[in-house]
Structure 1
Amino acid sequence: MYLHSLDRDNTTRYPALEQMTDNPYHLWEDHSKDSSMLISARGILSDEEFYIILPFMIYTSQLINNCAIITNSLILVVNVKLGFSEPSNISLTALAICDFTLAVLFTWNNLGIWLTYHNVRLPFHGASESFLTGGAQSAFLSTTIAWITAFISFERCLCILVPLKVKRLITPRVTFVAMLIIILLTFCPSFFIYMRYKFVWVFNPYLNVTILNTIPVNSEFAILFGKIYIFICGVIQPLLAFSIVLICTMLLVVQLRKISSWRLSVTCAKRQWVQPEENPAASSSAAEARISRKEERLIRMVVAIATIFIMSYIPICIGLLCDVLIERFNAYGVYSRMYIVSGYIVSLGQPISGSVNILIYYKMASKFRSVFRRLVCLDRQEQEKA
């Protein structure tokens, strides 16, 4: 969501944005060979349309981010009260931490763009610096969220495939280590972006000030490293995680249907031929049925989380493919305005998904619902009314 698609005609309205247009350091290496490509063609959106859509997208995005921050804060408090004896609590807590951090990074990115849009004079360029310290990291954190969701879905699949061994395979310690490995391999590489870009002090003649700005490192090694780095971390990893979530979710849905059909057939048979009070073994099978229903509720919750994630991540996958397949579809190319607007639309999916998770937990997890109601004093209010 780089805010670099600004025409020279609009610098009288937004002079603080002029530096982004006229500063040659902000051109990609492919564009710097042709001086006629100084971001003059914007494509599709006119000036008026762009400057109407942009603030609307900023405010909409921030409203959703605020909801994600509040809801994930509540999820973290509830999960801490529940404890971490169950592996699922650890992975769901890691997911909530990532959703919370993602909303904070989006907030910082929105703030930088908003300050630049409203011509607020700062010792640094708001849009550029907030992108490099927030927007870029948020893209990698989305990949982290994808892999955590993939791990949760895979763990539920193991419960179906090897139900007798899964408790020995997936322990709380194993889950904790897995979360650390996922974070190290998906989010920590975001800091390698500072090998491709660096902070410099740039003089802006329009404002007659020197401000902190960002320029690309145009060495051959940095350019090659950047292309490989973006392809692996920005394309391969997200699409692979998305594929794992999709496959595991399909397997879980199929298994849920089999479990429901089996339970229905067993229930009908018991009603016809077995009297529970006359058969001691029936009480044992009833206890096993209660355990299986608990597992089934957890599977349903994971399927709901994964389904919402898939729906929110499909636009991101489409955006990644467009970045790779469509030439000059970036913040500096001829479609820069559409790139910025589509980037905002695509980025809405993750905080929406993070905000909705609390509703899934409340609906499908009885322990979470009980602790949450005590936390917000709902049970006390009902007792007072009674």
Structure 2
Amino acid sequence: MYLHSTEEDNTTRYHTLDQMTDNPFHLWEDHSKDSSTHTLASGILNDEQFYIILQCMIYTLQLINNCAIIANSLNIAVFVKLGFSEPSNISLTTLAICDFILAVLSTWSNLCFWLTYHNVRLPFHGVNVTFLTGGAQGAFLSTTVAWITAFISLERCLCILFPLKVRRLITPRGTFVAMPIIILFTFCPSFYTYIRYKFVWVFNPYLNESILNTTPVNSEFAILFEKISLVICGVLQPLLAFSIVVICTVLLVVQLRKISSWRLSVTSAKSQRVQPEENQASTSSAAESRISQKEERLVRMVVAIATIFIVSYIPTCILLLCYVVFDEYNLFGVNSRLFIVSGYIISLGQPISGSVNILIYYKMASRFRSVFRHLIRLSRQEQERHEH
């Protein structure tokens, strides 16, 4: 046991150091809770279940994180090569950058959990410190990804429904301005964690050294600020972005069906025309058909991206709601084990979505596919020159 005094009060708190116990994932506990509550929490996930699930999640998540880092690195390289003359390239590049940073933050958190799981002595508390240096930021960055996806879906939806008006408003310059605004609007509130929690150095007499840890700030302002931030940034923002993506995706799917029906009617009309004047009109219709096919490919790509996002983000919305509604469902509550495991399972969705996007771009975007092949070819040639 070690002694720890906080600035908020002069009372003494005792906590078991994670390196000196059988439970390397020991968190800050509120010993004011009755024993029945703790017994219930322990009954949900006992030690053996917790560690088996956690070990599987650690390796699975890191494998997916590696794929997301590689895939989004390639996405960024290809979009930079394509240039930013198209607004869609700007938003898709920003999406790839956010997915890349999110995978890096997840890797950092995963590494700390892995080291803690294997009882590696660290100069900091592997779980609590990771919450303030990667976990919270990753959660809010996922909201940034949600809003960028909503922007892409809304942009494409408006371009299809009101092509003449919207194309004058949605320009590369406007998109360059919109991306930083979205990031500031969604990611900056993550710094509320440094108001609600703070870093502290804790001395361990058994090891004769201090380690970095975190502790909640129990002032009324900090608690109120956390509640307001969680409601606005943890529930309203993600749910609003999710709703925009769903609505725009539905509208785009309906429009795709209309385009397909229109193309089928044009094809039937062309087969029945035999006079020269009608042949000339058929040529014009064919040109319109080619334009609509190009537009349709872009719409289909956006629909695919949005659909994958919707599937992967539904569990995150559920977790955020539970985090706000249930007081003890958090990293520092009595249900911390359940929170960690469910958080790990849900966190698989974001890197999977970030990894799959490159397959969508490659399949549906011919320019992306050609530039991607060119970059791979150049890298192979460079490697062969080094080998020889």
TM-score by length of 1: 0.88
2:124 alignment partner in structure 1: 124
**Secondary structure of the equivalent of 1:121?**
coil
Q: Which residue of 2 aligns with 1:174?
A: 174
Determine the structure 2 residue equivalent to 1:91.
91
Report if aligned partners of 1:75, 1:358 keep a CA contact under 8 Å in 2. Answer: yes
Alpha-carbon deviation of 1:32?
5.7
Contact 2:102 2:142 in 1 (8 A): yes
SS at match of 2:185: helix
1:335 counterpart residue number? 335
CA–CA separation in structure 2 for the residues paired with 1:121 and 1:253: 53
Note closer, same or farther for the CA distance 1:274–1:216 as it changes in structure 2 (3 Å cut).
farther
CA offset digits 1:253-293 (Å, max 9, x no partner)? 01101110111011101111256897334333322221111
Q: Using a 3 Å threshold, how does the CA distance of structure 1 residues 136 and 276 change in structure 2: closer, same or farther?
A: farther
> CA separation in 2, counterparts of 1:327 and 1:94?
35
Q: Is the 8 A contact 2:102 2:138 kept in 1?
A: yes
1:295 to 2:295 alignment:
yes
Cα distance, 1:358–1:274 mapped onto 2, change above 3 Å? farther
**Alpha-carbon distance in 2 for matches of 1:379, 1:269:** 49
Aligned-partner Cα distance in 1 for 2:275–2:98: 51
Partner of 1:322: 322
Distance verdict in 2 for CA 1:281–1:211, change over 3 Å? same
> Which stretch has the larger CA shift, 149-158 or 41-50?
41-50
Question: Match of 1:65, as an amino acid?
Answer: N
Shift in alpha-carbon separation, 1:277–1:96, aligned structure 2, 3 A: farther
Q: What's the CA shift string for 1:310-368, capped at 9, x where partnerless?
A: 00001111112222334522234343322211110000000000000000000000000
Cα distance in 1, alignment partners of residues 79 and 200 from structure 2: 43
CA distances 1:31-78 after superposition (whole Å, capped 9, x unpaired) = 464475895642322211111111111111000000000000000000
Aligned length: 366
Structure 1 residues 307-316 or 203-212, which shifts more?
203-212
For residue 347 of structure 1, what is the aligned residue in structure 2? 347
1:368 aligns with 2:382: no
Q: 1:378 Cα shift?
A: 9.3
1:75 aligned to 2:75? yes
- Is contact 2:273–2:279 with CA below 8 Å preserved after alignment? no
What letter is aligned with 2:98? C
Alignment of 1:159-238 (within 5 A): 159-238=159-238
- Determine the C-alpha separation between the residues in 2 that align with 1:268 and 1:323: 56
| 3-state SS of 1:253 partner | helix
Higher mean displacement: 39-48 or 120-129: 39-48
Letter in 1 for 2:376: V
Structure number with higher relative contact order (C-alpha < 8 Å, ≥ 6 residues apart)? 1
Aligned to 1:137: 137
Determine the structure 2 residue equivalent to 1:44: 44
More displaced stretch, 95-104 vs 124-133: 124-133
Q: TM-score, normalised by structure 2?
A: 0.88
Specify the code of the residue in structure 2 equivalent to 1:74. Answer: L
Matches within 5 A, 1:254-265: 254-265=254-265
Unaligned runs of 5+ in 2: 1-14, 382-388
Output the CA distance in 1 between the equivalents of 2:280 and 2:222: 72
TM-superposed deviation, 1:138? 0.3
Q: Which amino acid aligns with 1:168?
A: R
d(CA) in 1 for partners of 2:253, 2:106? 33
Corresponding residue of 1:271: 271
Let me know the Cα RMSD of the aligned residues: 2.5
Matching residue's letter, 1:61: L
Letter in structure 2 aligned against 1:208: N
Pair 1:380–1:127, CA change in 2 (3 A): closer
Distance 1:36 1:204, change over 3 A: farther
Map of 1:356 onto structure 2: 356
> In the alignment, what sits opposite 2:386?
none
CA distance in 2, matches of 1:189, 1:339: 21
SS in 1 for 2:122: coil
- Aligned residues with identical type, % of pairs: 74
Distance change >3 Å, CA 221–CA 310, structure 1 → 2 = same
Take 1:99 and 1:238, find their aligned partners in 2: how far apart are those partners?
16
Distance change >3 Å, CA 13–CA 252, structure 1 → 2:
same
1:194-247 CA distances to partner (integer Å, 9 max, x unpaired)?
A: 111111111134543211111111111011111111111111100110011001
